[in-house]
Chain A
Amino acid sequence: MTERTTAVDAEEVRHVASLARVDLADDEVGRFAEQFEDILTYFERLDEVPEVDHDADLTNVMRPDEPRECLETDAALENAADTEDGFFKGPNVS
């Protein structure tokens, strides 16, 4: 098994968290750095798996431009934490 040469640092963890709009407390950053490290190591092990024909032999999979039935609004909103007048409702974003 190959060893990772570059370690995941706190800066990288904070950047990835900010892209995902996740707030991390300082004590969490270290924990996630270790976990990222583990995840990347697992993925590197995949490099050792011999390559097989990975692309299914499919091209041009298309459908005609015909309307299909949609979800009822109530069903569409069913999993939402908060709604208002048929809208999904969320916090202010900028």
Chain B
Amino acid sequence: MTAQTVQRGDLVTVIGLEVHVQLETETKIFCGCPTAQTDEPNTNVCPVCLGLPGALPVLNETAVEAAVKIGKAIDASIPEETRFHRKNYYYPDLPKNFQITQYDEPICQDGELEIAVEGERRTITIERAHLEEDPGSLQHVGGGGGIDTAEYTLVNYNRAGVPLMEIVTAPDFRTAAEARAFLAELEEVLEYLGVFDAGRDGSLRVDANLSIVDGEEVDDEGRIGTEALEAANRTEVKNISSHKGAEKALAYEETRQRNAIQRGRVVEQETRHWDESRGITVSMRSKEAEKDYRYFREADLPPLRVSHWKDEIPIPELPTARRERFREEYALGEEAASKLTSTKQVADFYEDVAREFDPDLAATWVADELLGELNYRDLEITDVAGRLDAVHRLIELVDGDEITAKNAREVVLRGMLDDGDDPDEIVEREGLGKTGADEVEQAVLEAIEENPEAVADHEAGEAGAINFLVGQVMAKTGGSADPGDVNGLLREELE
């Protein structure tokens, strides 16, 4: 925490986040329409998600399980009883003119998540996390496509009713970078839980509130009193859709507010829209006040009593714990451990090979070679899930000293990823199998016999001569011998 460095008269930035994540389910939260992405508008719709009269919502059990898993992961309490509410507002993305959400009885309360920023650990309080339905999507058409200038609106309800979890933090962030680190950590945790897919379009959306308070209001623990927070005018920044976007939007908004204060102007309490392409936030017409949403209980959905699910539903080891275990159990450095736990799939695969082969070799092959080649091809490990057995086999070949690391990397791995061939096939076809010791020795003797000049040069102390001889042996063995071994053998023979 930066509390010690805060001086009287300093301005302190205060940020809180509301993160909407799409839960990984087959169907929507209150009806059986698929959540699968489709380009055809209004195909995944039914009377429930179109809000037709008389249609009754029925809650998706998998969405509730996902919420409980999230609650467990963030160490939140799951109340004995939790309920749904209607949030009323009139906008064409809501076919019912209300959104089903949770108001004063959310499914997760008082959680936390630890983040690390530049080596400093901080615990961020999560005030609540609740289930709700996503609205539909709007296209503003004509007049340049701007919200204000469009000629008309096209509405697609395929997204309407997709299950969301809204995760609300306390105003615990002091920098845009911390907010970004939180989002990255949260995404990792959610992916570990198997309840979230960052690759889905629109699966993460963030609203952030930011205000600037006087450093005097910060106590020794780095906390700021509620009165000071309430007194400061804050802006709510909407339309953020990535970690990077969050950092940029908040850094922009922080500078904008600090500049206003330094020029003696008052920061307006307002909602602002993050314009990603222009890299600025712009003022939005003010929306309803909280009371205007006229929340009331959703009588069509009976209450939930699922607090005991917390003991019944298992969750996997989470990234931070796994990272630490990897460092101890496999003696990995911080960077390797963090790369190898970046997703559950990578970590699972690493453990799979580290148990069988040398953990160091496994770390190099998974963290550097495999992830490096995947990254170069703009692929994720999930894109090659069906090829991991082949990668496992390749590591086995290297571990068993059957091919050289160089060939394994440059010929076999690349061939596997580019052409989908099997490692053994490539080794066979390219003749990469390490040549037997006898054959190498034979080649060494031949090279010495055929190149008396080089031998003489070597004996005269010319450093490059040995390299020439190594090259000759490599040529004779078709490149499959290990150059280091050849060098050693040559020196032995020439002594």
The docked-state distance in angstroms from the alpha carbon of A61 to that of B33 is 18
Q: How far is the CB of A91 from chain B (nearest CB, A)?
A: 6
The docked-state distance in angstroms from the alpha carbon of A44 to that of B150 is 44
Number of contacting residues on B, CB 8 A? 52
Q: How far is the CB of A23 from chain B (nearest CB, A)?
A: 13
Determine whether B201 belongs to the interface, using a CB cutoff of 8 Å to chain A: no
- B303/A59 in contact, CB under 8 A: yes
The residue that B58 contacts in the complex, of A61, A71, A73, A76, with Cβ under 8 A, is A61
- B140/A92 in contact, CB under 8 A: yes
**List of A residues within 8 angstroms of B138 by Cβ:** 93
- A65/B60 in contact, CB under 8 A: yes
The residue that B156 contacts in the complex, of A59, A67, A87, with Cβ under 8 A, is A87
Determine whether B301 belongs to the interface, using a CB cutoff of 8 Å to chain A: yes
Interface string of B264-296 (1 = CB under 8 A from A): 000000000000000000000100100010000
Determine whether A90 belongs to the interface, using a CB cutoff of 8 Å to chain B: yes
Determine whether B361 belongs to the interface, using a CB cutoff of 8 Å to chain A: no
- A92/B152 in contact, CB under 8 A: yes
Closest to B309 in A: A60
A93 touching B153 in the complex, CB below 8 Å, given contacts A58-B302, A67-B32 = yes
- Which applies to chain A's interface (DSSP): helix, strand, loop or mixed? loop
A70 touching B45 in the complex, CB below 8 Å, given contacts A65-B60, A76-B50 = yes
Determine whether B364 belongs to the interface, using a CB cutoff of 8 Å to chain A: no
**List of A residues within 8 angstroms of B342 by Cβ:** none
Determine whether A19 belongs to the interface, using a CB cutoff of 8 Å to chain B: yes
Determine whether B147 belongs to the interface, using a CB cutoff of 8 Å to chain A: yes
A66 touching B32 in the complex, CB below 8 Å, given contacts A20-B90, A86-B42 = yes
- B32/A91 in contact, CB under 8 A: no
The docked-state distance in angstroms from the alpha carbon of A92 to that of B147 is 8
Interface members, chain B 126-154 (any A CB < 8 Å): 138-140, 143, 147-148, 150-154
- A89/B302 in contact, CB under 8 A: no
Q: How far is the CB of A13 from chain B (nearest CB, A)?
A: 14
Q: How far is the CB of B390 from chain A (nearest CB, A)?
A: 33
- A65/B50 in contact, CB under 8 A: no
A62 touching B59 in the complex, CB below 8 Å, given contacts A70-B45, A91-B152 = yes
**List of B residues within 8 angstroms of A2 by Cβ:** none
The residue that B26 contacts in the complex, of A60, A62, A66, A88, with Cβ under 8 A, is A66
**List of B residues within 8 angstroms of A19 by Cβ:** 88-90, 288, 292
- A73/B40 in contact, CB under 8 A: yes
- B43/A70 in contact, CB under 8 A: yes
- B285/A63 in contact, CB under 8 A: no
Interface string of B9-53 (1 = CB under 8 A from A): 000000000000000011100011110000011111111001000
Determine whether B92 belongs to the interface, using a CB cutoff of 8 Å to chain A: yes
Closest to B302 in A: A58
Interface string of A72-89 (1 = CB under 8 A from B): 010011000000111111
A88 touching B43 in the complex, CB below 8 Å, given contacts A58-B302, A67-B27, A94-B147 = no
Interface members, chain B 54-93 (any A CB < 8 Å): 58-64, 81, 88-92
Determine whether B198 belongs to the interface, using a CB cutoff of 8 Å to chain A: no
- B58/A65 in contact, CB under 8 A: no
Q: How far is the CB of A64 from chain B (nearest CB, A)?
A: 6
**List of A residues within 8 angstroms of B33 by Cβ:** 67-68, 70
Q: Return the 9 tightest CB-CB contacts between A and B, nearest first.
A: A68-B32, A65-B62, A87-B154, A58-B302, A62-B61, A88-B155, A86-B41, A21-B90, A63-B58
Besides the known contacts A19-B89, A86-B156, 8 further A-B residue pairs in the complex with CB atoms under 8 A apart: A19-B90, A59-B303, A65-B63, A67-B33, A76-B42, A88-B156, A92-B140, A92-B143
**Residues on A facing B (Cβ under 8 Å):** 19-21, 56, 58-71, 73, 76-77, 84-94
**Residues on B facing A (Cβ under 8 Å):** 25-27, 31-34, 40-47, 50, 58-64, 81, 88-92, 138-140, 143, 147-148, 150-157, 285, 288, 292, 301-306
**Subset of 17 A-B contacts with CB under 8 Å:** A19-B288, A60-B304, A65-B27, A68-B32, A69-B32, A70-B46, A73-B45, A76-B45, A76-B50, A84-B154, A87-B154, A88-B156, A88-B157, A89-B155, A90-B155, A92-B140, A94-B148
